[in-house]
């Protein structure tokens, strides 16, 4: 097993809708290999390169800029490392409405957003607020 030290995730919000995690990378640390089960947005709090190891084994460099967010769909697999001599930080926002297993359903729901909602049957359970 790799001896690469790990970046430190701190969960800021974790509810039904989103998970917001601050990732702090000391120099040379990495997230470890992972697969994104949800679509997500990354908001860099640092400017500079990150080293991304992809599913095909290739390592690419991503140039992040403080305050410049990017979005990725569910299904991304990678290991993310900090090649810099200083700390690197970003905030990751996972969108639980867009799980990998229900992308079709989610898209269908988004497409029907302007239609009136059916009236719940009597005795039907209340839905969580939207
Ligand atoms: Ni990731």
Give pLDDT, residue 122: 53
In a domain, 57, yes or no: yes
In a domain, 49, yes or no: yes
Per the model's pLDDT, the better-predicted residue between 80 and 119 turns out to be 80
Task: Name the pLDDT band for 2 (thresholds 50, 70, 90).
Answer: low
Give pLDDT, residue 104: 52
Task: Name the pLDDT band for 14 (thresholds 50, 70, 90).
Answer: very high
Report CA-CA distances (Å) from 90 to 7, 13, 106: 11, 15, 27
Number of domains in the chain: 1
Task: Show the tokens assigned to 36.
Answer: 């994104």
In a domain, 53, yes or no: yes
DSSP string, 38-62: EEEEEEESS-EEEEEEETTS-EEEE
Nearby residues of 46 by Cβ (< 8 Å), 6 or more positions away:
64, 66, 87, 88, 89, 90
Tell me the average pLDDT across 28-54.
97
Rounded to the nearest angstrom, the distance between the alpha carbon of 97 and the centre of ligand 1 is 18
Rounded to the nearest angstrom, the distance between the alpha carbon of 108 and the centre of ligand 1 is 26
In a domain, 118, yes or no: no
Kindly report the number of other CB atoms within 10 A of residue 130's CB atom.
7
By residue range, what is the domain housing residue 15?
Answer: 8-110
Task: Name the pLDDT band for 81 (thresholds 50, 70, 90).
Answer: very high
Rounded to the nearest angstrom, the distance between the alpha carbon of 126 and the centre of ligand 1 is 35
pLDDT at 114 over 60: no
Ranges 9-18, 26-35, 107-116: which has the least confidence: 107-116
pLDDT at 46 over 70: yes
Q: How far apart are CA 13 and CA 63, in angstroms?
A: 26
Rounded to the nearest angstrom, the distance between the alpha carbon of 11 and the centre of ligand 1 is 14
Which CATH number do you get for residue 53?
2.60.120.10
In a domain, 96, yes or no: yes
Tell me the average pLDDT across 68-94.
97
Q: Percentage of residues in the chain with pLDDT exceeding 70? A: 75
57, 12 in Cβ contact below 8 A?
no
In a domain, 15, yes or no: yes
């Amino acid at each position: 097993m790799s001896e690469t030290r790990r970046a430190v995730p701190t969960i800021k919000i974790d509810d039904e809708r989103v998970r917001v995690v601050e990732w702090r990378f000391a120099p040379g640390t990495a997230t470890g290999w992972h697969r994104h089960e949800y679509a997500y947005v990354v908001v860099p709090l640092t400017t500079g390169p990150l080293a991304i190891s992809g599913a095909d084994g290739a390592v690419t460099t991503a140039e992040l800029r403080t305050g410049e967010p990017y979005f990725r769909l569910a299904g991304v697999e990678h290991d993310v490392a900090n090649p810099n001599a200083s700390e690197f930080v970003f905030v990751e926002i996972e969108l639980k409405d867009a799980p990998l297993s229900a992308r079709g359903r989610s898209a269908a729901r988004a497409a029907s957003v302007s239609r009136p909602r059916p009236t719940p049957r009597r005795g039907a359970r209340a839905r969580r607020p939207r």
